[in-house]
Structure 1
Amino acid sequence: MQVLGIETSCDETGIALYHSEKGLLAHHIFSQVSHEEYGGVVPELASRDHVHKVIPLIQSLLAEKKLNAADIDGIAYTAGPGLAGALLVGATVAKGLAFALGIPAIGVHHLEGHLLAPMLEETKPSFPFLTLLVSGGHTLLIKTTALGEYEILGESLDDAAGEAFDKTAKLLGLPYPGGPHLAVLASKGERHRFKLPRPLIDRGLDFSFSGLKTAVSQLIEKSPRDEKTQADIAAAFEQAVIDTLIVKATRALAITGFNQLVVAGGVGANQHLRQSLTQLAHSQGFQVFYPRPSFCTDNGAMIAYAGCQRLLKGEKSHELQVRARWPLSELRPPL
C-alpha cells in the first residue's frame, strides 16, 4: 500500500509518501518563517501558508518519484490536535483528493504520529515500549503496548518542556523559535555554575516546569548580562530539564518493566538529551530509540506511516472532522 501523508497542524507543511513494503519513499516540508517577527505562530497566517503550499508540495513530491496521483492507495492527514484552521486545510485537501481518486482518507492523531516516528528508522523498537514525548505542547510518559493502545503514565501539570524552553529563550532575548537557539547557547555554557530546581523529581511520574521557569526568570533579573553568564544560565536550565526528564523516564521504565524507551517530539532532537540518555541506556542495559532530528519536529512522514498502519489494519475512512483538542487517551486501536 502506498500512502500519501499530509501534516498541517501548526506552522509546517509536511508531505510524504510511504510504502508499506518499501518504507519511506520521499518527504517534503515547508517551514513557515513569517511568524518570527511576531514571536509566535499566528493561526491565520499559518492557515494561509498551508493553502498556498499543500498542493504544490504534493505535485513536487509525485514528480520527484515519477508517480501520478492515481498511484496513491490511501491518504493520511493530521486530524488533531492543532490549530483548527490549519488542520482544516490538510483535511479538506486529503478528503477532496481521496474522493476524486476513489481511495480512503484517514485522519491521524498528531501525537500518535510522533510516538511512531522512530518506526521510520532502520533501527526501530518493537511493541511494547515506553514513550517519552516531549514537545512545545506536551510532556508525556506513555505506556505504548500496540498501535492505538496507549496509557498515559505521567504528564506535565503546567508548562510542557518545549514551552519552558521557548519561554526561557525569550527571557534570554533569543529569537523565535527559542528552543533550538537556547540549546546552541547552552552548548557554550557551564552547566553547574547556577543551581536550579528540578520540580517533582523526588516523586511520581508527572512533570512541572513552571517553577523552573520562574527560578530562571529571577536568576536572569539579578545576574549580569554578559555573554558567558547568559550561556551559563541557558546551560543550567537545559540541564535541569534533562535531569528531570531522565529521572522520570527511568522511573517509568522500572515501573513498567520495559527495556525499550522511545524519545519523540521536538525536544527529542536536543543533542545533550540524546547523549545523556544514550550513555545511561548503555550503563543500565535498556535500549533507547529516536527519530532522526528532522522527524522530531512536525512532518508528513510520521503521518503517512501512522495512517498506513491503521489502513492496513482495516480502519475505514471517517467523515471530515478535525479536533483542535484531542487527548491521546481517547485514541483507540483500529477496529
Structure 2
Amino acid sequence: MIVLGIETSCDETAAAVVTDAREIRADVVLSQLDDHTPYGGVVPEIAARAHLEHLDGLVRRAMAEAGVGFGDLDAIAATGGPGLIGGVIVGVMTAKAIAAARNLPFVAVNHLEGHALTARLTHDVAFPYLLLLVSGGHCQLLVVEGVGRYRRLGTTIDDAVGEAFDKTAKLLGLGYPGGPLVEQAAARARNPGRFALPRPLVGRPGCDFSFSGLKTAVRRHVEEVGALSGAGLSDADRDDLAAAFQATVAEVMADRCARAIARFKQDHPQGGALVVAGGVAANKTLRARLQTLADREAMPFVAPPLRLCTDNAAMIAWAGIERFRLGEQDPLSFAPRPRWPLDPSAAPVIGRAGVGSGVKA
C-alpha cells in the first residue's frame, strides 16, 4: 500500500509518500520560519498563503523523490484538523482534488493522531501505550488503545508547553521559534542552578499540567535582574535562566508522567511503552528525563527521530494507512476542523478559553 500524505495545519508545508511496510519513500517539508520570525509567532493568513503557493510543488517533488506516479497510489491522506483553519483548508482541498481526479480514496487525518501513531511508523510499537503529546498548541497525556481509541488522562489547564518555550524565549530576547533557542541557551549555562523557579502541580494528584505561573516567574526574574544591572540581561543571565526553565519543565513532565504511568499500569497490567511525540519531544533534556523515568518504571521508552517530532507529512500518510487498512475513508464532503479532540469524551478542563480549556486538545 502506498499513500501520499499532506500536512498544512500550521507553519510547515509538507508532503510525503509512505508505504504500509513502514518505508518513508519521500518526506518533504518547507518551513515558513523566515516568513513568521519578524512577527515573533505564526501569522495565520501568511501561513495559509504560503501553503497555497508551495503545496503543489512539494507534492510533485515528493512524488518524484519516491519514484511513483499518481497511478501507483492507493489513497491520499491529509490533515483535516485541528489547526489554523486557512492552512487546513488548503491541504484538504488539494488532497480532495487529487482524489477526485484520480478516483482515489481520501482519508482525513487528525493531526494529533498523526503524532500519536508516529511511534508505530518508526518503532512498530504495540497497543496499548502511554503517550505524552507535547507541542506548541497541545500538552496531553493519553492512553493509546488502538487506532481512533484514545483516553486522555491529563492536559494543560492553561498554556501548552511549546507555547511556554516560545514566550520564555521572547522574554529572554532569544527570538523565535523558542524551543530550539532555549535549548541552545541552556546548553551554554555556566550556573544552571542559579535561578529558583516554581514547579507547577508537582506532587499534586492528577495528570494535568500548568505553565502560566512558570512563565510569570521567568518574567519576574527578567525584570529583577534587569533592574539590578541597569542594563538588562547579560548573555550569562539568559543562559542560566533558560537552563532553569528547561530543567523545571523536564521535572514537571516527569512528575506528571509518573502519575500517568501509575494509572496506566492499573488499567493495563500487561504493560506497554512510554512514548513522547510532538515538537517539544525534540528537546534532548526532556527525552533524557523521560528515559530515566521509563527505566525506573521498567517500561520501554520510545521517541521518534527528531525530524518526525515536528510537523511532517510522513506521520499523516502513516495515520492514513492505519485507518485505510481498517476499511476507513472519508467522503469528499468532509469539512476541515479547527478543533478535533482525540478523546471527545474527556471533560473540559477548568482554565482559560482556548487550548488550555481542552477545546483544541
The match for 2:338 is 324
5 Å matches for 1:167-182? 167-182=167-182
Distance in structure 1 (CA, Å) of the matches to 2:78 and 2:245: 36
The Cα of 1:22 is off from its aligned counterpart by 5.2
The Cα of 1:11 is off from its aligned counterpart by 0.8
| 2:237 equivalent to 1:229 | yes
5 Å matches for 1:14-53? 14-21=14-21, 23-32=23-32, 33-53=34-54
The match for 1:264 is 277
Q: Deviations over 1:219-245 (max 9, x none)?
A: 111114121121111100111111000
Secondary structure at 1:328's aligned position in 2? coil
Runs of 4+ in 1 over 3 A off after TM superposition: none
Change beyond 3 A, Cα 1:229–1:82: same
Task: Name the amino acid aligned to 1:77.
Answer: A
Distance in structure 1 (CA, Å) of the matches to 2:22 and 2:153: 34
The alignment-based identity, stated in percent, is: 47
The match for 1:152 is 152
Distance in structure 2 (CA, Å) of the matches to 1:205 and 1:60: 42
Task: Name the amino acid aligned to 1:45.
Answer: I
Task: Name the amino acid aligned to 1:329.
Answer: D
Give TM-score scaled by structure 1 length.
Answer: 0.96
Contact kept? 1:92, 1:320, Cα under 8 Å: no
Contact kept? 1:95, 1:320, Cα under 8 Å: no
| 2:297 equivalent to 1:289 | no
Contact kept? 1:5, 1:304, Cα under 8 Å: yes
Q: Deviations over 1:37-65 (max 9, x none)?
A: 11111111111111111111111121223
Distance in structure 1 (CA, Å) of the matches to 2:99 and 2:112: 23
The match for 1:112 is 113
5 Å matches for 1:1-335? 1-21=1-21, 23-32=23-32, 33-121=34-122, 123-189=123-189, 190-203=191-204, 204-223=206-225, 224=229, 225-257=233-265, 258-318=271-331, 319-330=333-344
Contact kept? 2:108, 2:329, Cα under 8 Å: no
Distance in structure 2 (CA, Å) of the matches to 1:103 and 1:65: 18
Q: Deviations over 1:104-130 (max 9, x none)?
A: 111100100011112222x34211010
The match for 2:354 is none
The Cα of 1:255 is off from its aligned counterpart by 1.4
Contact kept? 1:139, 1:156, Cα under 8 Å: yes
Contact kept? 2:132, 2:140, Cα under 8 Å: yes
Contact kept? 2:15, 2:27, Cα under 8 Å: yes
Contact kept? 1:162, 1:267, Cα under 8 Å: yes
The Cα of 1:146 is off from its aligned counterpart by 0.8
Contact kept? 2:258, 2:293, Cα under 8 Å: no
Distance in structure 2 (CA, Å) of the matches to 1:65 and 1:4: 10
The Cα of 1:330 is off from its aligned counterpart by 2.8
Secondary structure at 1:141's aligned position in 2? strand
Distance in structure 1 (CA, Å) of the matches to 2:19 and 2:308: 17
The Cα of 1:2 is off from its aligned counterpart by 0.8
Structure 2: segments with no counterpart, 5+ residues: 266-270, 346-361
The Cα of 1:14 is off from its aligned counterpart by 1.1
Distance in structure 2 (CA, Å) of the matches to 1:77 and 1:219: 43
Instruction: State the number of aligned residues.
Output: 330
Q: Deviations over 1:307-334 (max 9, x none)?
A: 1110100012222310111122139xxx
Deviates more, 1:100-109 or 1:16-25: 16-25
The Cα of 1:259 is off from its aligned counterpart by 4.1
Secondary structure at 1:302's aligned position in 2? helix
Distance in structure 2 (CA, Å) of the matches to 1:39 and 1:241: 22
Change beyond 3 A, Cα 1:183–1:248: same
Distance in structure 1 (CA, Å) of the matches to 2:338 and 2:293: 37
